[in-house]
Amino acid sequence: MQIIRDRDTLMTEIENIKRKQQTIGFVPTMGYLHDGHFALVHAAKAENDVVVMSLFVNPTQFGPDEDFESYPRDETKDIELAKEQGVKILFLPTVQTMYPESLTTFIQAQKRVSVLDGAARPGHFDGVLTVLAKLFHLVQPTHAYFGQKDAQQVAVVQGFVADYFFPIKLRVIPTVREDDGLAKSSRNVYLTEQERADAPVIHAALLRARELIAQKRDKAFILKETEAFINEKSTHQRIAYLDMYQFPSFEEISDWGKPIIIAVCVQYAKARLIDNEIIEGALT
């Protein structure tokens, strides 16, 4: 595995790969790797000649009161894990490498961001698109891999790639979970022992919501029951959001026969956990 920290070396290696007419599978991450990231790598290995992974905690997608400074990092372990998983090029830029000067232009997401994380974290998706634009230009991937856990991000990135004609095919990989259903996340390390024991209620509540949708219950009833299910456990501080939308537009539900997402964010003392279920053709 080749470890690269500067843009010029990366671009030279990408040129060499392109010259050989090899395909590139790109897995952008913020590090602190876990099984969810490995699933993306496995998918990338299956349909590309070369897998490139980036490890970069991107400051522009964090708000002033969020956990940029405390976000879990372990570069040494991440390097070992990436090598074990078969990553060929690991890009480890610094903030200075990715943002050498203040930006003269601004990328702003317009649609699919007025609710959920887009509303709760103003500017978050603008920062995501900014760093992805840079990484996409540097890596020039054939395919790029994202997890369904970040479904709103996936929808925003899909729109971005389509709007600006990036010659990239996006792949969305199902959420990887612990045995008890908790979605794998780098932020799970923030949970206390009791919070970790209770956190699987999030996914269980979403599965209950899926059942209620199949029973053709109305939206208000589904959300009320889902909230009550989560609140049966008392270790979380609050439910930051819980709602249902048409997917991937994130507009109000107008057709229950088309894909619907129910998404939730639960705030614990130090961990903010998100999860979702996407129902394809909810009622037909």
For the chain, the maximum distance between any two Cα atoms, rounded to a whole number of angstroms, is 58
Residue 37 a catalytic site member: yes
**More confident site: 103 or 281:** 103
Task: Set out the domains of the chain in order of their start, with CATH numbers.
Answer: 2-173 (3.40.50.620), 186-277 (3.30.1300.10)
| 180 known ligand binder | no
Query: Which of the following is catalytic: 37, 143, 203, 236?
Result: 37
Residue 38, CA atoms < 13 Å, CB-side half-sphere: 15
| Helix or strand run (H / E) with residue 82 | helix 75-85
21 appears as a binding residue in the annotation: no
Instruction: Output the pLDDT for position 121.
Output: 94
Angstrom distance (rounded) from CA 283 to CA 67: 39
Is 150 within any annotated ligand binding site?
yes
pTM greater than 0.85 (yes/no): yes
Q: Which two tokens stand for residue 154?
A: 């996936």
Kindly report, residue by residue over 47-92, the tens digit of the pLDDT.
Answer: 999 999 999 999 999 998 898 988 999 999 999 999 999 999 999 9
pLDDT tens digits for range 159-181? 999 999 999 999 999 999 999 99
By the 8 A CB rule, do 83 and 1 touch?
Answer: yes
124-139 and 151-163 helices cross at what angle (nearest 10)? 60
Contacts by 6-13, CB closer than 8 A, 24 or more apart: 6/93, 6/97, 7/93, 7/97, 7/138, 10/89, 10/91, 10/138, 10/139, 11/138, 13/89
Q: Is residue 32 annotated as involved in ligand binding?
A: yes
